Chains A and B, each alone.
Chain A
């Protein structure tokens, strides 16, 4: 068994980790992949701009996670309240829709255009799903090029739905990585002490999607319980195993398999 360091080595390693910025090692490749996929898929759909909005808090608000197009940088940080605008509707309803403003010039959710100076004439929006949760919205905006501004077609809507599956997996990975990154920085800041109370407080205040936050809460709880001693670890393990068996059984005995219906 290794002897505990007593010459400040632990402190040095901690410092090294901070310097390496391990946080961005986790999240940046994912963020870049999301951007790259947005670019490739927007070219396929034939749209001028595209963006990924993700859920911000439990009420269904959205914020821009990633965007490509002329005003993409101005979108960062803009939030759309729950149920507002096309994106808000798609988020709340889970229904993909395409809207074309072919007759007149007036904005959709004017706040976004006001903030960016962009003129939205056409939107194709489809939900981003992870498991049974809607975690955000994928939007393709305006027709690219100087040709006729033909509305987005049903075929493009179907393709956008398939792109959304790929992008949703990346968004989910990004969100999970970001949580672990932020948790990691909390551990470092608290100089190695597991300030569980503080971490728990931090987790409850996160404005991330419920499924990510709950996963983090579980992880923190498990960390706390397993630190209390061997008998507690055994107890937690047997309770969790029983729970797993129960949910396995419940799923397999469902009278109606949804897979048959899709």
Chain B
């Protein structure tokens, strides 16, 4: 049981409330939670992903507009398949939707990526895995607008942080989305929350073994592999609490991460006291 803090609207005022989060989400499988993977496509024939990808679309240009058409071109880079593999290991019964914006050809990267995000919001997918980003200032305002729309529509956008010298969008927009940076942790449920930091969450992202196009596996390192870990955890939460808003989800993640931290601290305190007890005395 996790105590989650929240804010409730009462008339025109707000008040702080608390709710108890049962631990049953830890046994959940992400059943019926829809997840969009905006990426390089997904290899739907990979044994780990068989039957998990409900629909695949890809970006095309039609009369100078980006449209989405059914896609059977699979994954052009491997990245989308890798992310899908990570998500389904945590949430095996989630419904994946592949939105291919990379390798679709002929469209400026930033534009295709914005269009993909807009498409996902219009379809009202509950969770959106966004391992992509842009540093181009001209996308700042449109991305901000789209993320606000996602927030209002109840879509939870999870973005990979870009740990390069320059800030990248959208991962620096901390209010309306969840951004994730890699840690060396291996247990997907043992993620961290760094309240007050621009990039709030930490999740496994080092040497992660996951699916790769062609039926095999690869070991991968990068923030963009930390992101799908949090997406998977959110799918578990949403299966048990389908009415959670992005705000609830963030609060729940924060509280669970606090609990993870407390467990680590008490574990290390216990092991050090055991170590002290077991030390030979003179």
List A residues at the B interface (Cβ < 8 Å).
58-60, 81-86, 88-89, 92-104, 106, 108, 127, 129, 132-134, 151-154, 157-158, 161, 165, 258, 261-262
Contact = CB atoms under 8 A, between A and B. Distances in A.
Interface stretch (B17-25, B149-157, B166-174): B166-174
Contact of A100 (B104, B132, B214, B218): B218
Contacts of B221: 97-99, 151-154, 157
B165 A97 contact: no
Contact of A134 (B79, B135, B214, B220): B135
B109 A157 contact: no
A255 to B, nearest CB: 11
A43 B266 CA distance: 43
B88 to A, nearest CB: 19
Contacts of B105: 59, 81-83
A54 to B, nearest CB: 15
B79 A161 contact: no
Contacts of A153: 206, 221
Contact of B76 (A88, A129, A258): A88
Nearest to B104: A83
Interface size grouping (class) on chain B: 35 or more
B219 to A, nearest CB: 4
B77 interface: yes
A158 B206 CA distance: 13
Contacts of A84: 76-77, 103
Interface in B203-229: 206-207, 214, 216-225
B78 interface: yes
A93 B165 contact: no
B224 A93 contact: yes
Residue from the set A82, A100, A133 with the largest chain B CB neighbour count within 10 Å = A82
A237 to B, nearest CB: 26
A262 B222 contact: no
A153 B220 CA distance: 10
17 contacts: A81-B105, A83-B105, A84-B76, A85-B76, A92-B109, A92-B132, A93-B131, A93-B133, A95-B222, A95-B224, A98-B220, A98-B222, A132-B135, A153-B206, A157-B221, A258-B166, A262-B165
Contacts of B261: none
B87 interface: no
A157 B207 CA distance: 12
B216 A261 contact: no
B206 A154 contact: yes
Nearest to A152: B221
Nearest to B136: A132
Given A106-B216, A261-B167, 14 more contacts: A85-B77, A89-B78, A92-B132, A94-B134, A95-B222, A102-B219, A129-B164, A132-B135, A134-B135, A151-B207, A154-B221, A157-B222, A161-B163, A261-B198
Contacts of B198: 261
Contacts of B219: 99-100, 102, 151
A89 B79 contact: yes
A106 B163 contact: no
B95 interface: no
A82 B40 CA distance: 11
Contacts of B137: 132
Given A59-B105, A127-B164, A262-B166, A96 B222 contact: yes
Contacts of A104: 216-217
